[in-house]
Copies of this chain bind each other. A is one copy, B any other.
Amino acid sequence: MTRHDPIQSCDSCPIRANAVCADCAPDEIAVLDRAKTYRTVPAGGRLAEAGEPLTYFSSIVSGCATMSRTLEDGRRQTVGLLLPSDYIGRPGRSTSAYDVEAVSEVTLCRFECATFERLLRETPHLATRLLTMTLDELDAARDWAVVLGRMTARERVAAFLVSLARRQARLSHQAEPTRAIALALPLSREAIADHLGLTIETTSRQFTALRKAGAIETPSTRLVQIPDFERLALEAGEDDDGGMIA
């Protein structure tokens, strides 16, 4: 992980092109620039708690966070993996529906709820971009439901790696991952298991199985080498041209 200098202005912001502000015109950005504040939370820090008040609308500038729910008996399901440019919070609600916790050091760009709701009314391109991002998130959540509802443990692990590789590629402004990719896993095996609806043991076994099958290499636990992205996508139940449909 490279160390970044503290960001001062939206001009030098690494998520300027993808975040909720991406569609804003220079004059709109000027307004946001004045209203925003930054906050950095260490790895393991809580950014929101299910049922508790959430008084900011935040975008992740750097780092990684998980959004999850824990049942009374301890079962936990991660419902979203938050990477740079993803947002936390919901306009119109003052409490969080999920736990959000930083899995690495996270820097947020945030607005007070009331401020953000005003900005949303007064900044047309902010509202349209938020809608687009929310629709994208909805599609992603539905795609993930297919993984959780119908895929085997092995397919789930492959699907997770494929999805992570795609998002990592998009963050570096590529449309698709290259044939061979190195993936830095932001999550522990346990956090991956919670995301996949599996136990940590099953998750670990599937990493081993994919490695033995030659679909991935694991130089260290937090590093995955994908020698052939298409091959791994096949393991994830996708057909040759990227769609998962018949």
**A binding-site residues for B, Cβ under 8 Å:** 50-51, 67, 69-72, 74-77, 79-80, 90-92, 97-98, 127-128, 130-132, 134-135, 137-139, 141-146, 148-150, 196-197, 237, 239, 243-246
Contacts and interface: CB of A to CB of B under 8 A. Distances in A.
Given A142-B141, A144-B145, A145-B79, A69 B134 contact: no
A142 B245 contact: no
8 contacts: A67-B142, A72-B245, A127-B131, A131-B131, A134-B134, A134-B135, A137-B138, A145-B148
A186 to B, nearest CB: 19
A150 B239 contact: no
Given A145-B77, A148-B197, A237-B71, A132 B243 contact: no
Given A69-B244, A71-B150, A91 B131 contact: yes
Contacts of A67: 142
Contact of A146 (B79, B138, B243): B79
Contacts of A70: 245-246
A245 to B, nearest CB: 5
Listed residue (A79, A90, A149, A196) with the most chain B CB atoms within 10 angstroms of its CB: A149
A92 B150 CA distance: 29
Nearest to A139: B97
Contact of A149 (B137, B197, B239, B244): B197
Contact of A127 (B127, B143, B237): B127
A34 B14 CA distance: 45
B245 A150 contact: no
A136 to B, nearest CB: 10
Nearest to A98: B142
A147 to B, nearest CB: 9
A71 B144 contact: no
Given A72-B239, A132-B92, A135-B90, A146 B245 contact: no
A146 B69 contact: yes
Contact of A197 (B90, B137, B150): B150
A146 to B, nearest CB: 4
Contact of A135 (B92, B146, B149): B92
